[in-house]
Amino acid sequence: MKLFIEVPEDKTLYHVLREKGFMKSAYCGGRGICGKCIVKINGKEELACLIFGPFIGEVEISEERLVSKGEVLSPIQIDHPQTGFGVAIDLGTTGVEGALFDLSTGEFVESFKTLNFQSAFGADVVTRVELARESYEKERELLLESISFLLKQFGEGIKEVVVVSNPVMQHFLLGLSVFGFERFPFRLEREEETYITGRELGISDFSNTVFYVPPPLKNFIGSDFLANLLYFENEGYKDFGVADLGTNAEMGIYRENKKVAASVPAGPAFEGVGLFSGMRAVEGAIYKVFFDGRAFRYLVIGGGKPQGICASGYFDVIYLLRSFASVNREGTFKKSFNPLIGSYIREVEGQKAFVLYDDGDTLVAVTQEDIRKFLLAKGAVYGGLSVLVEKVGVPERLFFSGAFGSHIDRRSIKGVKLIPKGMPEAEPFGNVALKGAALLLGNRKKRERIKELKREVDVVELATNKIFEEKYIEGMEL
């Protein structure tokens, strides 16, 4: 995959690619030793950590590094069976995940996940909308390339694709103006469902495939959130809260007589992007960190040598640092440390860090800046949930979905105070948006139901909410 990248004078190409999510941390600390950050520039292989700014040019990254296996999903109900395959896609700001199903039986086949290549234009939707004034067509091209790349992993015979996403990604996908998202009050160009072919979208390798795009809810709350509600409703839940924690955090409370929702830009920390050793919840990621009485231990997705840390691992580390009184309420490292943890603290790139793994080749650490970014994201979620509880009360259950929903530790969530007091303990559920999207494959009744949910949910605007401002600040503390 080719990207046009600009590197400022004070950074290396590796740093910029890592910030945008296209590269894991330099395992040798950026010293040009491990060879893990190879890219091609003008057809020649180079080490990204040795390309210093200022630099402006095209960089080629191996696509093999950009795809991984996704989770296993349950079979779905098809009300109009047909030959061929269908793919459900959760088009996120940072990542894109798809699941393949047999449209004749509803059986799950396989799933894959990759990056949203549009990340080259910024980690969040606000930045991408701003840059779209100059680069809309290129941003859209990268997004379509992400979807095409993902679909190619599944092979031929794809008849139908369902795509759920936040409204900004949906507007880019459909070729609609995104400038209604520049300032409040926000404006959607299209609020209804869309049926469109790959040819009409510009995805030439799947020109005859029919794409179904469900309606967004409102403002920055999209069809991905409605897919969350559809899934939990389909599972029989009648009184619950749900928080889909990605780059754009969407949350809501579903009660039979009242349904409310809100969204807030949490930044890419929950996706593992822009953090020193951050990565998504894929093979090689540390997803669980704990203290066994003598030392700090960790678990790695897929086993083997750790390559980085995903969001659930970061929450564990921050919870442990606070438990051992190694950081204060603001998340700042203290000057002195408990002897049990002191040997894990060192300087990394000019700042204090908690080092989980270092074999001289691979360095996995949580830095002071990582903690700051996580607390900003945490405050946004805490504030949003607080406002919704003020509106309709505390739900019976609370579900977490999204980037780290499959691996989150309930004790860590409670320990870092992500959830306001009085709310039920969070229950992890993985990528619920993808599961909800799958329900829409070959099922007209579910497509009608998701449109009904759009009409039933009231959206709470947080940008002008004073309670949110207060709770956001409160939620940034440990």
> pLDDT (tens digit, 9 = 90+) per residue, 47-66?
888 899 888 888 888 766 67
Q: Are residues 137 and 28 in the same domain?
A: no
Q: Are residues 21 and 125 in the same domain?
A: no
- pLDDT band of residue 25 (cuts 50, 70, 90) is low
End-to-end CA distance of the chain: 41
Give residue 373's identity as a one-letter amino acid code. K
What phi, psi does 62 have (nearest 5°)?
Answer: -65, 130
Does residue 430 lie in a domain region? no
What pLDDT does residue 60 have? 87
| Residue 415: pLDDT over 60 | yes
Q: Are residues 171 and 141 in the same domain?
A: yes
Longest distance between any two alpha carbons in the chain, whole Å: 66
Q: Identify the three-state secondary structure at position 2.
A: strand
How is residue 144 annotated by DSSP? H
Does residue 209 lie in a domain region? yes
Q: For residue 246, which of 224, 218, 216 has the smallest C-alpha distance?
A: 224
Quick one: average pLDDT of 281-303? 91
Domain boundary (185, 213, 241) is at 213
Tokens 């080749």, located at residue: 361
Domain boundary (160, 187, 213) is at 213
pLDDT above 70 coverage of the chain, percent: 96
Does residue 268 lie in a domain region? no
Q: Are residues 33 and 17 in the same domain?
A: yes
C-alpha pair distances (Å), 333 with each of 95, 188, 453: 31, 43, 45
Does residue 9 lie in a domain region? yes
Domain hosting residue 117, numbered range? 67-213
| Residue 89: pLDDT over 90 | yes
C-alpha pair distances (Å), 62 with each of 35, 168, 448: 14, 27, 41
| Per-residue model confidence as pLDDT tens digits over 246-280 | 778 899 999 988 999 999 888 778 877 789 998 87
Q: How many domains does the chain have?
A: 2
**CATH for 28:** 3.10.20.30
What pLDDT does residue 24 have? 62
Q: Are residues 115 and 148 in the same domain?
A: yes
| Per-residue model confidence as pLDDT tens digits over 156-187 | 999 999 999 999 999 999 999 999 999 888 89
Q: Are residues 101 and 146 in the same domain?
A: yes
Q: Are residues 174 and 49 in the same domain?
A: no
What pLDDT does residue 195 have? 98
Q: Are residues 13 and 117 in the same domain?
A: no
Q: Are residues 144 and 20 in the same domain?
A: no
Q: Which two tokens stand for residue 288?
A: 């669980």
What pLDDT does residue 272 have? 78
Does residue 174 lie in a domain region? yes
Q: What is the pTM of this model?
A: 0.83
**CATH for 104:** 3.30.420.480
- Rounded distance, CA 115 to CA 111, Å? 14
- pLDDT band of residue 406 (cuts 50, 70, 90) is low
Domain boundary (213, 238, 261) is at 213
Task: Work out the mean pLDDT of the chain and round it to a whole number.
Answer: 91
C-alpha pair distances (Å), 361 with each of 13, 202, 345: 20, 43, 18
Q: Are residues 165 and 142 in the same domain?
A: yes
